[in-house]
Amino acid sequence: MENIPFLPPVARTLFSSIVSLKRRLGTDKILLICDNASFHKAKGFTAWAEGHSTGLRLEFLPAYSPDFNPIERLWRWIKTEYTHNRCGSSKPALRQHLRESLQAMPAQAEAVQSLMKKENQRYQEICAFYQTEFQPLFATAE
């Protein structure tokens, strides 16, 4: 059983996810690519990671690097498609707009799949480099 350090809730979730991933994959070799979120740098988490440095490697992205983080491409699309240059006249009006936007998103599935196709291609290249099995991160339109 892993020795669980004292961690803030988000860092504790990250820690639990890594331990679970190690068990599920049956390996101690994990490369975790982190952005610079505070929970990635929590003292308890980084101390634990340093103690497992033979099997866990943390790589930190540059301070602002949306091009290296696949979800940023999706967030940018969502903002452009649904919230760009829109201002609600009130909080209830804004909530209603966001609710309607979220309900409309499934109709945009093909656009999202096309958008994320490049991320799957990048990930496939990484898997080939590290000689690991490729499983798509996102369902994509072919």
- Contact assessment for residue 115 and residue 137, using Cβ atoms and an 8 Å cutoff: no
Residue 77: inside a domain: yes
Residue from 119, 121, 114 nearest 140 by CA: 114
Q: Which residue has the higher pLDDT, 45 or 6?
A: 45
Tell me the pTM.
0.45
> How do residues 104-127 score in pLDDT, each as one tens digit?
877 888 887 787 787 778 778 877
> What is the maximum span of the chain, computed from C-alpha positions, in angstroms?
55
Last residue within a domain, chosen from 64, 99, 119: 64
pLDDT of 1 strictly over 50:
no
Q: Cα–Cα distance between 56 and 12 in angstroms, integer?
A: 16
Same domain, 10 and 26: yes
Same domain, 116 and 71: yes
Same domain, 49 and 87: no
* Mean pLDDT, residues 69-82: 79
Note the pLDDT of residue 112: 78
pLDDT of 8 strictly over 70:
no
Geometric angle at alpha carbon 19, from 14 and 23, rounded to 5°: 145
Q: Which residues pair with 7 in a beta bridge?
A: none
* Mean pLDDT, residues 54-76: 74
Structural domain span for residue 92: 66-134
